[in-house]
Each structure stands twice: as C-alpha cells, then as structure tokens.
C-alpha cells in the first residue's frame, strides 16, 4: 500500500525531491508576475505592431507556453497564433507574421534551426530564453529579446514564458492583458496555495488525486478549448512522475479511443481525470455528461474543476492542479521529479551524429 505520509512530511519530501521541484512549481504565480515585468520592459523596436499572425517556434516545456497562449487567443480573438515544433517553417505563413523563438535554455536544436531559417526568409523575429544561442542570434541581429531567469527545468519555468507572451501581445496591440494579468496571477496564487506541500493530505486535492491514481495509468480527458492545458497535464505526468499518461480530447476521442475504453480489458488499470471545459456549449456539456457516466463502468474517474473567473484564470487553476498532482505522484513512487537524464542522453547522442 502507498505510504501517503510521505506527502505530509517535509523531511521525507526533501529526501526525494533533491533538486527542489516543489519550490519551482510553487513559484508559478511569481514567475507570471516576473515574466510580465520583463516583457513590459523589453525594447520591441523592429517588430510590427498589430501583426496579422504569430508563429512561435519551440519544443517541449518551452513550447507549451505558446500552446496555452494560442488557445487563449482563440478564445479572446485577435491575431492567429501557430506553434511550430520542427526544424523547418510551415508553408502557409502570411505577410506580416511575427516569428518568436522560445527556448528556455536557448540552445534547443530544432528551435535554433527554425528560428535561423525564419531570419533567412526575412520574417520579423524576436526571442525568449534564459540565454544560449538564441540570445546570441538576437543580439547579433539586433532583434528584440526577453531574457528570463535561468536555473529551472524548462517545464518548471512556464510562468516566465507564458506571461512574456502575454506582455508581447499587449505591447504590440494584439490583446490588452494589462487589466486582467494581476487577477490571473492572484487566481494562480490561490490555486497553488490550496495544493501546496504544506497543506495536509486531508485538505489537499492534488495529494488526494495522486494517491487515487497510485500505480494506475492516468488518462486526461478534456475538450478542444483546453487542449494545451490538457497536454500540459499529460506531459507533467511524463516528466515529473516518469509515467505514461494518455490524452483524450472529446468529442474526437469518441470516434476512436472510445472503443478500447469500453472493450479493452486492460482499461480497468487506468484512472480518468476529467478536466472541466471552459466553453459553455450545450452539446458538449451533454456529451461529457454521458462520457463521464459510461467511463465509470470501465475505469475510475475524477473531475478537476477550474472555479470562477476569466479564461486565463481558469486555465491557470487547471495547470496548477495538474502540476502539483504530478509532483506528488512522483514522491509516492520515491522518484525525484526534476531529473530527465534520458532526455539529455538522447539530445547528446543526436548531436554527436552527423546529419
């Protein structure tokens, strides 16, 4: 049986969380404030005001901020935002597209390559990183650059990168977040405080959810309006908890994944986390009600809500819940959530081979 006392013991947590992932996750609201400040102080000279579209090149934990920003802008309207996870540029770019390279380390191979190709193509460009090659390129070409604090795992620096994008959108006249950002920071602060390590198990939903998942495989079930948030939750289980996790987006998943959910005998070994939708669509609400009922006949389910407030507030609350749940799940297995040595080994091996 899982020893849940680990979660309420500062000494036991520290013995497992040797690199201090909890401090990074709890700093999420601070990061949002700091990233906003950095972007507001940035010189945006040379970037087009009111760009028709934005292309964000990034990978992994760096790119997820772009995904969330893209979903947010889809809700709010304004410039179309596309996230590019490849070495090359998409072929459907429009004149007036702003290209943003985002890499926490500043050295991500795919991002540096696509960013450089954007410069060759004459795209208006800027960068966000903690330094590295991306900063060097931006300085060399006198491009706008936002330098964020270093020292974290990329996935644990989401607040810096996301709020930097919100600041850029505000400065370029894409959408004014100045009236809502502090409310969103407060929503994140309240959400993190409710599930922080010093909140005991009996009052901490993230600790309870982690214990409920136990040795099962988590399945994140969400709707298209919060796809990026759901992807964030899924990848935090992958990297923090070192666990497989699956993502099902409704209604599309009802046309494929639903078959094994109902008929595969191994589905009883999964736990379904249903993330609350942000849009109020009667057809979707009806569908999710039916899905929730039918899930319970095959695997245990639990709902994660987002509370009241604006779209950004709700997204941040769901992110905080997912982040801390993945952290506690790592602790329950005695796993340090920070190191991802297998990723470093993969990158180094690829870099040692000729293309």
Question: Facing residues of 54 across strands?
Answer: 81, 98
The class that CATH gives domain 23-179 is: alpha beta
Threshold 0.75, pTM exceeds: yes
Report, as an integer, the average pLDDT of 322-328: 98
Which pLDDT score is estimated for 92? 82
Which pLDDT score is estimated for 94? 80
**Residue 341 buriedness (CB in 10 A; 0-12 / 13-18 / 19+):** exposed
Which pLDDT score is estimated for 191? 97
Q: What is the pLDDT of residues 148-164, one digit of tens each?
A: 999 999 999 999 999 99
Which pLDDT score is estimated for 355? 79
Which pLDDT score is estimated for 353? 87
The class that CATH gives domain 5-19+201-332 is: alpha beta
Report, as an integer, the average pLDDT of 136-143: 97
Judge whether residue 275 has pLDDT over 60: yes
Residue 299: φ, ψ to 5°: -150, 155
Question: Facing residues of 275 across strands?
Answer: 304
pLDDT band at residue 341 using 50, 70 and 90 as cut-offs:
confident
Q: 174's torsion region: left (phi>0), alpha (psi -120 to 50) or beta?
A: alpha
Which pLDDT score is estimated for 301? 93
Asked if residues 57 and 101 have their Cβ atoms less than 8 Å apart, the reply is yes
Residue 34 or 51, more confident: 34
Residue 82: φ, ψ to 5°: -120, 135
Report, as an integer, the average pLDDT of 109-126: 96
Report, as an integer, the average pLDDT of 327-331: 98
pLDDT band at residue 342 using 50, 70 and 90 as cut-offs:
confident
Which pLDDT score is estimated for 1? 47
Same fold, 5-19+201-332 and 23-179: yes
Q: What is the pLDDT of residues 243-259, one digit of tens each?
A: 999 999 999 999 999 99
Which pLDDT score is estimated for 255? 95
Percentage above 90 pLDDT, the chain: 83
Q: What is the pLDDT of residues 155-213, one digit of tens each?
A: 999 999 999 999 999 999 999 999 999 999 999 999 999 999 999 999 999 999 999 99
Distance of alpha carbon 101 from the chain centroid: 17
**DSSP string for 194-262:** HTSTTS-GGG-HHHHHHHHHTTSEEEEEE-GGGHHHHHHHHHHHHHTS----EEEETTGGGGTTHHHHH
Asked if residues 230 and 262 have their Cβ atoms less than 8 Å apart, the reply is no
Closest CA to 323 of 229, 246, 202: 229
Q: What is the pLDDT of residues 231-247, one digit of tens each?
A: 999 999 999 999 999 99
Percentage above 70 pLDDT, the chain: 100
Report, as an integer, the average pLDDT of 110-128: 96
Chain mean pLDDT for the chain:
94
Domain boundaries, the chain: 5-19+201-332, 23-179
């Amino acid at each position: 049986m899982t020893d849940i006392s680990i979660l309420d013991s500062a000494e036991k947590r520290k013995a497992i969380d040797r690199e201090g992932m909890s401090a990074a996750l709890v700093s999420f609201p601070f990061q949002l404030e700091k990233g906003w400040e950095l972007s507001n102080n940035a010189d945006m000279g040379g970037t087009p005001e009111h760009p028709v579209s934005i292309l964000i090149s990034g990978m992994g934990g760096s790119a997820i901020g772009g995904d969330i920003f893209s979903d947010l802008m889809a809700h709010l309207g304004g410039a179309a935002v596309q996230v590019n996870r490849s070495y090359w540029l998409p072929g459907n770019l429009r004149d007036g597209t702003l290209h943003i390279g985002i890499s926490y380390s500043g050295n991500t191979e795919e991002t540096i390559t696509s960013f450089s190709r954007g410069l060759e193509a004459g795209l208006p460009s800027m960068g966000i990183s903690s330094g590295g090659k991306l900063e060097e390129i931006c300085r060399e070409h006198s491009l706008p650059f936002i330098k964020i604090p270093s020292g974290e795992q990329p996935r644990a620096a989401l607040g810096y990168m996301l709020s930097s994008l919100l600041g850029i959108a505000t400065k370029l006249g894409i959408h004014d977040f100045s009236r809502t950002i502090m409310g969103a920071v407060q929503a994140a602060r309240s959400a993190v405080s409710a599930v922080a390590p010093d909140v005991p198990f009996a009052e901490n939903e993230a600790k309870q959810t982690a214990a409920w998942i136990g040795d099962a495989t988590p399945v994140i079930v969400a709707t298209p309006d919060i796809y990026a948030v759901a992807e964030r939750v899924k990848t935090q289980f992958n990297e923090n908890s070192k666990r497989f996790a699956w993502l099902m987006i409704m209604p599309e998943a009802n046309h494929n994944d639903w078959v094994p959910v109902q008929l595969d005998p191994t589905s009883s070994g999964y736990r379904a986390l249903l993330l609350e939708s942000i849009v109020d669509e009667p057809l979707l609400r009806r569908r999710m009600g039916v899905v929730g009922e039918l899930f319970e006949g095959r695997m245990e389910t639990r709902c994660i809500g987002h509370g009241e407030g604006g779209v950004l507030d709700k997204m941040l609350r769901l992110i905080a819940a997912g982040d801390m749940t993945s952290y506690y799940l790592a602790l329950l297995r005695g796993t340090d959530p920070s190191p991802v040595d297998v990723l470093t080994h993969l990158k180094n091996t690829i870099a040692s081979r000729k293309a």
